[in-house]
Amino acid sequence: MPGPAHLTAASLAVVGLLIASACPARAAGACTSSDARIVVETGPHRLVLCDRDREIAAFAVRLGRGGIGKTAEGDGKTPLGAYPLGEPRKSDRYGTFIPIGYPTPDQRRRGFTGGDVGVHGPHRWVRWLGSLVNSFDSSNGCVGLATDGEMAAIASWVRSAHAATIELR
C-alpha cells in the first residue's frame, strides 16, 4: 500500500480542499457575498474561495510586478474590482489558466486597456520551485499560484461551485 511519500502535490492540494469543504467552514471577512466567488485580498496576497459568506479555502498568491490598480496594457499591474470569471482551461505556459474579464465594458469606456488577465499556476520553467515561486510579485498583471496542485484545486472548485465572479481588492 502506498504511503505518504507517494502523494503528489496535486493530490495533497485536492485532499486539503476536500477536507476543508467537508468540515464546517468558518465565517471570514473576505467572504461577504450571496454567491460562490473568488476573492483576492491584494494586501496579504491571499486568494479565498468563498461560498456565500463562508471561506472554503485560502491560498497565497503573487500579483503583478507593477503593483495593483491596472489601467493600461503592459503596466504589469493586477486590476482591482469585480470581474466575470471564464472557464478554467489548459495552458501550455501555466498548466491551468482561468480568464478574468478585465477590463469591464465601463472600464473600456473610461480608457482602460489590456487583456489576457487571469488566475494561473506557475510558469512551466519555474514550477519546480514550489512555494518559492510566490516569493515576489512577478506576473504581468495576473494572480499567480505557486503550484499546479493549488491551481487544480481552485479550477475544480470553480467548476463544481459554478463560481462566475472574482473580486480583487
Instruction: Count the domains in the chain.
Output: 1
Stated pTM of the model: 0.83
- Look at the alpha carbons of 165, 76, 107, 30 in this order and tell me if their dihedral is positive or negative: positive
The β-bridge partners of 144 are 62, 120
Residue 2 lies in a domain: no
83 forms bridges with which residues in the sheet? 166
* Cell numbers at 52, concatenated: 456565500
Domain assignment of residue 35, yes or no: yes
Give a yes or no: residue 13 inside a domain. no
**Within-domain flag for 9:** no
Query: What CATH number should be reported for the domain holding residue 53?
Result: 2.40.440.10
Tell me the CA end-to-end span of the chain in Å, nearest whole number.
45
Is residue 16 in some structural domain?
no
What is the C-alpha R_g of the chain? 16
Q: Would residue 6 count as lying in a domain? A: no
Give residue 97's Cα distance to chain centre.
9
Beta strands 118-120 and 143-144, pairing class: parallel
| Each residue's pLDDT expressed in tens, for the chain with a length of 169 residues | 444 444 344 443 443 443 343 333 343 489 999 999 999 999 999 999 999 999 999 999 999 999 999 999 999 999 999 999 999 999 999 999 999 999 999 999 999 999 999 999 999 999 999 999 999 999 999 999 999 999 999 999 999 999 999 999 9
Q: What is the extent of the structural domain holding 73?
A: 27-168
Q: What are residue 68's DSSP bridge partners?
A: 78
